[in-house]
Amino acid sequence: MSKIIAPSMLAADFGNLQSDIEMVNNSEADWFHIDVMDGVFVPNISFGMPVIKAITKLAKKTMDVHLMIVEPDRYIKDFKNVGADILTVHYEACTHLHKTIQEIKSQGMKAGVSLNPHTPISVLEDIIRDLDLVLIMSVNPGFGGQSFIENTYKKITQLKTLIEQSNSNAIIEVDGGVTDKNIEKLSKVGVDAFVAGSFVFKSKNPTETISTLKKLVSN
């Protein structure tokens, strides 16, 4: 499978969302990464259904929706209705994770689970075969523009082993502090999909930055 670049729309210019969406459409990016924050699971609030619906309307690529919210089960259908293709919930926010994953799949979406930096890979042992994607947080969720946590490499290596040993089809996504300095090493240890917010949108030429990232992981 070729590697995936997923620009995080959290770092886009909300006053000019349409032009940033078109930039992603016309770039080598593969997915739109959409960060939903509720001010409870994380100490920040981002955006909700109307904004996601507006993005979906213009976006021509896969909608990769990352829920940083408590009780995600309450909104699974709503996220399907506003255009989510992949729906990722946090392990730390789900008491009945297996049920949540089945519900996401029954709505026709791919199902992902995200782990905070302090949560060990071992908690996924009994769910890994049910997952389409595992999202490893390489920063504490809540804000863009934070520094990459180095312990992430070790976690990715452990996750890769778990996936292989379990014959799981899950792909590995990493989120937070991804730049041209760490993306190659992340790719080598087994990451399939890379979220990049600030590094893309705060750069002089976001389209070129996306191409640069794509090239770095295409070898």
Per CB under 6 A, the list member of 43, 78, 145, 218 interacting with ligand DX5 is 145
Please indicate whether residue 78 is annotated as part of the active site: no
Per CB under 5 A, the list member of 20, 37, 66, 134 interacting with Zn ion is 66
CB of 45 to ligand DX5, least distance (A): 12
Residue closer to ligand DX5 by CB (options 44, 166) is: 44
Using CB under 6 A as the binding rule, whether residue 144 contacts ligand DX5 is answered as yes
Using CB under 5 A as the binding rule, whether residue 20 contacts Zn ion is answered as no
Using CB under 6 A as the binding rule, whether residue 39 contacts ligand DX5 is answered as no
Q: Which span sits near ligand DX5 by CB under 6 A: 14-22, 71-79, 81-89, 138-146?
A: 138-146
Strand order in the sheet with 133-137: 4-7, 193-196, 171-175, 133-137, 110-115, 86-90, 62-68, 31-37
Give dist(CA 88, CA 116) in Å, integer.
Answer: 13
By a kind-dependent CB cut-off of 5 to 8 A, residue 83 interacts, out of ligand DX5, Zn ion, none, with: none
The token duo for 61 is: 């690529």
One character per residue 161-180, x = contact with ligand DX5 (rule: CB under 6 A): --------------xxxx--
**Cα R_g (the chain), whole angstroms:** 16
Do residues 150 and 168 lie in contact, with contact meaning Cβ atoms separated by under 8 Å? no
Q: Active site residue: 20, 30, 132, 175, which one?
A: 175
Do residues 97 and 113 lie in contact, with contact meaning Cβ atoms separated by under 8 Å? yes
Shortest-Cβ-distance residue relative to ligand DX5: 197
Using CB under 6 A as the binding rule, whether residue 110 contacts ligand DX5 is answered as no
CB of 217 to ligand DX5, least distance (A): 15
Using CB under 5 A as the binding rule, whether residue 175 contacts Zn ion is answered as yes
Per CB under 6 A, the list member of 3, 4, 5, 11 interacting with ligand DX5 is 11
Give dist(CA 2, CA 121) in Å, integer.
Answer: 24
Catalytic residue numbers, as ranges: 35, 175
